[in-house]
Structure 1
């Protein structure tokens, strides 16, 4: 079977996925990812954000024994958990501590010239939010860290305490799409130094008029999101990774990206459109989103959007 024939046809993906029963949601859009990205031929799968190993496990479980996986993550604690989860697959799995922005050089370092599938999941795991102690959640009183990679030089507190009011406002507006970016930035500058999540939450609460607090989101959600994205340079990493990941694909190979933020999804959409249409094509014209059942079981999946690109034969 040729590389271009090794997967299900993209036509009718939504209906086919919806018809399958889902026992446990171990990762967002896990069935859609498996349906669209699981190889049918021998080769490599690259999970650029392996995290707890949920997507990787599903991709390997339904694949041939000669399908191997390279999993990347910047978080050593996540890699340790992925190693334990993926242990049953033995030497089919290789894990590397690396940022997905370096996906092509990391693949080359492991002797991988082409991949059948590449996956990037841009979300933060529940464990990172609630169990890492790094200040990702506004619901916990923790140090204002927010580094996905603990070796990064600057924390969210460092960023909030160092940047000018105008730079803070720009980050909050661009990465968090926060209406009250200027007011929050002004309040941060007046109240700093900040050191904990609870201090940041208090600043945001004081800056945003009570009548304007969102109904479905915590008032500090967008501020936390924006600072996390800035600390980890997530948009920059994504812009660098997408063309490199596309070039890694074998003919018929697919690149899947799960975004949770409209700005990230916009980067994915624009990058996919900018690639040579003689070599690459979107599998679906619109992103796939979670069904009602998945959102009920995992409300954090609500904003997830999966776009898939295929390298043409």
Structure 2
């Protein structure tokens, strides 16, 4: 598929250039390459960047990005991998240590608009919901095999859905008649389980929950942050864009924990520094999209951009 048929507006473009990148940045690791919007922006704006490595789980998007970024030749490398594999990608190619790391956790607009992916409740499609085109474990398997308790936990933990248990009971009852295979079937179950005034929010929360469970998103995010900080050296920066409270909580907790010196109590009840702080916070509060950007790209409304620098 040609890149021009796939569209995705990269968010916070000016903020990425002004706050994340710095004049000494020599290489970038983009863990969520998508269609290459941020990559094009950064490579064009920073000719001193010798290498830009982008990973993505969607092979179709990766091929489109490679075609789009072909003019940058050897300055760009695209790899089909999860961003949590940053260490393995670095070793396999072999690539220089990234001096700047970017993770944009937003779901690509094309995933939401493509009914064959099953991410959205707004169009009927297969219950797939996996980012990777090669992934066997999908949402259909979870819905048809998980227990009531397991389904409830997924919706509570990843969607913070108040009616999780009621929806889980109806899912199990429905699959006893026939296996669930379509997003329209899940949508109907959710709509029958909640009050009409709550349907829109419940649909969003439940579909988000099963997408996150299918792709183990929070697990891979935590892993990616741990590995990124291990790779980084003094002066290197990392920026993470999150779009809901669950993601942002993981990023915020990691950043806060690593930005504080580790101390322990002495026998005189004084606190002695055992290890200095690992990072400094470039953004004390997360950066949000401007009103102008929100009007241009409504999906940027909820973005929170946190940036840190290795000390």
Q: Same fold (TM over 0.5)?
A: yes
Runs ≥4 residues deviating over 6 A: none
Instruction: String of CA shifts for 1:169-220, please: whole Å, max 9, x gaps.
Output: 1111111111111111111111122111111110100001113335xx4x41
Q: Partner residue of 1:180?
A: 163
What is the aligned counterpart of 2:137 among 154, 171, 175? 154
Matched, 1:119 2:102: yes
1:247 Cα offset (Å):
2.3
What is the aligned counterpart of 1:110 among 80, 88, 93? 93
1:69 Cα offset (Å):
0.2
1:276 Cα offset (Å):
5.7
Q: What TM-score do the two structures reach when normalised by structure 1?
A: 0.87
**Unpaired segments of 5 or more residues in structure 1?**
1-23
| SS class of match (2:102) | strand
Q: Partner residue of 1:31?
A: 14
Say what the alpha-carbon RMSD is for the aligned residues.
1.7
Greater Cα radius of gyration, structure 1 or 2: 2
Instruction: Check conservation: 1:48, 1:72, Cα contact below 8 A.
Output: yes
Q: Partner residue of 1:46?
A: 29
**Unpaired segments of 5 or more residues in structure 2?**
1-6, 261-276
Matched, 1:273 2:259: no
May I ask how many residue pairs the two structures share in their alignment?
286
What is the aligned counterpart of 1:69 among 27, 52, 59? 52
| SS class of match (1:288) | coil
Instruction: String of CA shifts for 1:258-292, please: whole Å, max 9, x gaps.
Output: 11120110000111122264331111111111111
Alignment of 1:93-104 (within 5 A): 93-104=76-87
Q: Partner residue of 1:21?
A: none
Name the CA distance, whole Å, in 2 between partners of 1:268 and 1:208: 32
Name the CA distance, whole Å, in 2 between partners of 1:108 and 1:95: 15
Matched, 1:194 2:180: yes
1:132 Cα offset (Å):
6.3
Q: Partner residue of 1:310?
A: 309
1:302 Cα offset (Å):
1.2
Instruction: Check conservation: 1:37, 1:59, Cα contact below 8 A.
Output: no
Instruction: Check conservation: 1:115, 1:250, Cα contact below 8 A.
Output: no
Matched, 1:209 2:208: no
| SS class of match (2:120) | coil
Name the CA distance, whole Å, in 2 between partners of 1:116 and 1:132: 37
Instruction: Check conservation: 2:115, 2:125, Cα contact below 8 A.
Output: no
